[in-house]
Every structure is written in structure tokens, then in C-alpha cells.
Amino acid sequence: MKLFTVAEMVAAEKAADAAGVTYDQMMESAGQAVAEAIIARYPVAGRAVTVLVGPGNNGGDGLVAGRHLAQAGADVAFYLFKPRDPEKDANLVRVQEMGLFVLTADFDQRYRVLRTRLNITDIVVDALLGTGVDRPIGGELARLMKQVQGGLEERAAILADKRRSRLVSVAALNEEGEEVWPTHPIVVAVDCPSGLNADSGEIDPLALPAGLTVTFAGPKRGHFRFPGAAACGELVVADIGISPELPEVAGVAVEVVTAGEARRLLLARPKDGHKGTFGWVLVAAGSQRYWGAPALAGRAAYRAGAGLVALAVPAAIRPALAVQLPEATYPLIADENVLGAAAAQAILEDIAAYKALLVGPGLYQADDFLETLLAAREQLPPLVVDADGLNLLAQVDDWPARLPANTILTPHPGEMARLMGVKPAELRARDRIELAREKAAEWNCILLLKGAYTVVAGPGGRCALLPFANPALATAGSGDVLSGVIVALLGQGLAAYEAAVLGGYLHGAAGELAGVDAGLLAGEIADWVPEVREGLRAE
């Protein structure tokens, strides 16, 4: 699934039209898809639907969607921001021929009809503005959208009052009974909420936050950039006949990782496999200050399918870790409290036994350790550097030149700022996708930039976005789990870029499968990973 800029989407539509899929056909497909998405989620028969129709193609999509909703039994009314010419607009003619209510804002004094309609509306279809918006909403449209906001607030109050009961249970978390309509009108955005900049993610204060957004051919970058991302609700992508084989589509560099792509990346688990089949991986981590990080990374590596996990940790914390994770093996590292050069030399003596290496979680001040390892980079197996490993790396002169080829770096924004030598505020101002692509090429590594909608970029220009933004994953140790999953996939034979993509997907999907937005422990994220794997295989 491609992730489009607005310019890339315009080019793809033009190419599809030139290839024989006309704009009218794409509009019909888009509007029908919006209606299908609504019908699949909400009982529309007998429900009042108001379609807000803009002057462009987005408005045309809304006309088509409303027609199909009316055919499904909804009470549909169309409110046009600007007049549309029936002689040039077949979709307008069709809804008029069906006898559906159509009103243009010019004929609605003080928006009285609009407000009256919104007071009985269950579903609002926002087809006012498309993805080409790049300036603040003003003039008559601003006045219209203020009225819509006010009308939606009034309708929400009406619905909430209808739901209000004279009887309130003291202890029950939820009132039991038959399923009822939400206590607010449902807003469905056509392509994007009107007022969202589909490139930058900036959103106008007058925009209507949607519970469902149906976009076409592929999502746009603004769907995944805050603050606008928070206004999109559930994001659904509809196929409108634009062939993925078109050069204008195939050439789009950034992809969104779907369950189908994650399933494709899963490696087979042969029934006659053994520990060696599924990879021996080494985790070099921990210090007297951070005991839990190695255990979390090791646990995650096992949960992601590694055959054997070895934890190279300081001697002082080895007994405690062996109790937490008895399934792991523990190389006899002599360094007592912090891994140093001697520990690195001991690891290098046996490094050929391992298929992948993770360095970093909880290392603390182990700079001699990291420099000694990197000095022998030609001997190292596929490498993941995370957490303190990244902080130590940032202190090394010309550190990118010291990395083995295809090293995976997994920074959160703070670690990324240190690697770049900039202040975090400067990093926050950057486009995360373009930043990851730029630095992956500059540093010649696989870069996984963590955060809401994690980005994975490779040095050759490949780039993927993970479709997860879950605050439950923002918990101590979550990153250690992620790096453990990735090193396990490397150990099982996945190439570096694919391991980062699939590892990030398994980690994010584990948080989604847990079904909470707070209270999830990092170890529990690891424990959900096998469930995600099985769910993918069952599709």
C-alpha cells in the first residue's frame, strides 16, 4: 500500500485517466466505497444522513455516496456549498431524479435549514474539501463550517439527553441493554476531513473531526501526521481502479505496512526445525543500573521465535536475570557491573555461533565495550543497536563509518536527536518520513525511527510507515521488546530492512491486540507477539 503525497496522488489519477479509467469512473468507485464503508459499520436504514457537498470532485464523491446510502434505505439530504451545473454534473441529476432533498447554501438564509437538518442527523458525510487544501478556511466556507460545528454540538446534546436515564447504577462500569446509537452524530470524511492539509497534517480549527475517513487508492501523508491524524478516526483505503502497475504509482517510494505485507514477510516454521533452524541470537545488554532491559529483550526474542537467546550481561546481574529468564543461556562475562572491553573480547571469541546480535538495552556507560565490538565489525553477524547503544554511538567520532553494513538503528526521538547532534525541538519540526529517509542514506543503515506511526527507512530509498499510534506502547521497556523482536527475526534469516519492518509491525500489532490504551507492561507486549503471528497466519 503506497503512501502518497498530494502531488503523487494527482499524478496517479491523471495517469489512470490516460490509461482508460476516467475521472467519472473513479468518482463512482470512490462514492460507492464510502457508502459501503458506512453500511458495513452502521445500520443506515431509516437513519438521517446529511451530505455536505463541496464544489469539486470531493463533492462529486459525496453525491455518489449519498445516492448509494439512499438506495440502502437511509434518509439522505444534500447540502451544497456552491451551486453545481446539472448539465455538467450527472451525479447531481441522479440524486434529483431520485427525489432526494438538495439545497444550496445560497438559498438558506442564516443557515436555518442546515441547522434544522443537523438537529435530526445521525450521519454527516463531509465531502466539502479534498486533499488539495493548503491554506486556512475563510469566507463563506468558514461561516458554513462554523454552523456545521454548532449544529453537531446541538445534535450531540439532543442524543445525549435521549440516552440519559433517571436510573444510574452505582457500581456497574457500563449500562447493559440493547445496542444504541452513539451520543453524537457520526462524521464520515470523504478522502480526508475538510481542512486537513494532506501533506503536512496541519488541520484548520474549523475542520470536522471524523469517526471514519475513507480515502482512495492509498492514504496520504497527512493522515499519519499530527495534529491532523487525530481527526481522521478509523482510516479505510478504497480501491478506485488506479492500477498499482502504473509508473506513477509504482514509483511512490513510501509504503504503509498492512497485515498482508506482514504476513508475506513471516518465515516458514518447518515441522522438523530445531534451535539452530530458528537462529541463535546474542543480546549484549544490561548494567548494575539497568537489570530489566536484557530480560525484556531476551523474552521478546523468544516470543518472536528465536531458537536460542544468549544474554551477555555483567556478572553482578546474571543470577537475577537467570531467575527471570531461565530459558536463556548466559555467557560467562567477567566484567562485574558494566560491560567493558574484556566483555567485548570474550563475546568476539564465540560470535560465529550467533546469527544476529543486539547491543544496547541498559548498557549504561559501556563505551569501551561498544568501541571494541565495532573495531571488529567485519566479524559481527547482523547487528541491531538500540537504547544506550545509540547514546554511546553518538559519542564516537565518525560513527556511521564504524557500523557494519545493514546495521539496524532503532532510536526514539531523543536518541535520534543525539545521533544527529541537534536539540530535540529541531527534530520535532522535521517531517519524520523525510528525516528517516535522509539519515538512512547518509548513515548507510536501516533506520527505525520510533514514535506514533514508526518509520523504517533503508539506505537505498526504501521506506515504510507502520500504521500504529497507541499510547499503551509508550511504556518503559517497550523499546527493549521491539529490539528483541527484531534481532530474533534477523536470527531466523530475514534481511535487515524486512526484519525491521516486520519487527515493528509485530510490536505495534501486539499493542493493538492487547486492546488497552494504558496499563500495558513491556513484558506483556512481548507476550502478545505470538498471538499476532498466529493471527497473521490464520488470515
Query: What are the residues facing 311 on neighbouring strands?
Result: 283
Position 132 scores a pLDDT of 83
CATH number at residue 26: 3.40.50.10260
Query: Is the residue at 472 inside a domain?
Result: yes
- Does any domain span residue 332? yes
Q: What is the pLDDT of residue 174?
A: 65
Both 224 and 283 in a single domain?
A: no
Are 244 and 314 found together in one domain? no
- Assess whether pLDDT exceeds 90 at residue 374: yes
For residues 35 and 73, give the distance between their C-alpha atoms in angstroms, rounded to a whole number.
12
Burial (CB count within 10 angstroms: exposed 0-12, middle 13-18, buried 19+), residue 510: buried
DSSP H stretches of helix in 217-340: 247-250, 259-265, 292-303, 318-324
* Per-residue pLDDT tens digits for 307-335: 999 999 999 999 999 999 999 999 999 99
What is the per-residue pLDDT for 365? 86
- The domain tally of the chain equals 2
Same structural domain for residues 99 and 236?
Answer: yes
Residue 179, pLDDT above cutoff 60: no
CA dist 416 and 449 (Å) reads: 8
User: Is the residue at 175 inside a domain?
Assistant: no
The mean pLDDT value for 266-271 works out to: 91
Domain enclosing residue 30, as ranges: 6-161+182-252
Say if residue 208 is in the same domain as residue 322.
Answer: no
Q: Domain boundary at 252, 280, 309, which?
A: 252
> Residues 407-449: pLDDT tens digits?
999 999 999 999 999 999 888 889 999 999 999 999 999 999 9
Are 410 and 455 in contact, with CB atoms under 8 Å apart?
no
Residue 310: enclosing H or E segment and its boundaries?
Answer: strand 308-312
For the cut 60, the answer to whether the pLDDT of residue 177 exceeds it is no
Q: Does one domain contain both 293 and 409?
A: yes
Put the strands of the sheet holding 383-385 in their side by side order.
Answer: 254-256, 463-465, 455-457, 446-449, 408-409, 383-385, 356-359, 280-284, 308-312
Report the C-alpha gap between 218 and 239 in whole angstroms: 8
| Cβ partners under 8 Å of residue 526, min gap 6 | 296, 299, 300, 303, 481, 484, 485, 510
- 329 falls within a domain: yes
- pTM (2 decimals)? 0.94
Q: Domain containing 267 — which CATH number?
A: 3.40.1190.20
- Reported as a pLDDT band with limits 50, 70 and 90, residue 176 is low
Confirm whether 455 is domain-assigned. yes
Same domain, 242 and 321: no
Is the pLDDT score of 164 beyond 90?
no
One domain, residues 387 and 490: yes
Residues 18 and 90 in one domain: yes
Res 538: pLDDT: 82
Q: Are residues 443 and 308 in the same domain?
A: yes
Mean pLDDT of 71-87: 95
| Residues 193 and 298 both lie in one domain | no
Give pLDDT, residue 27.
97
In-domain check, residue 170: no
Residue 344 located in a structural domain: yes
* Domain contains 177: no
Is residue 529's pLDDT more than 60? Answer: yes
Residues 153 and 294 in one domain: no
Q: What's the pLDDT score for residue 21?
A: 97
Answer yes or no: are the C-beta atoms of 76 and 54 closer than 8 Å. Answer: no
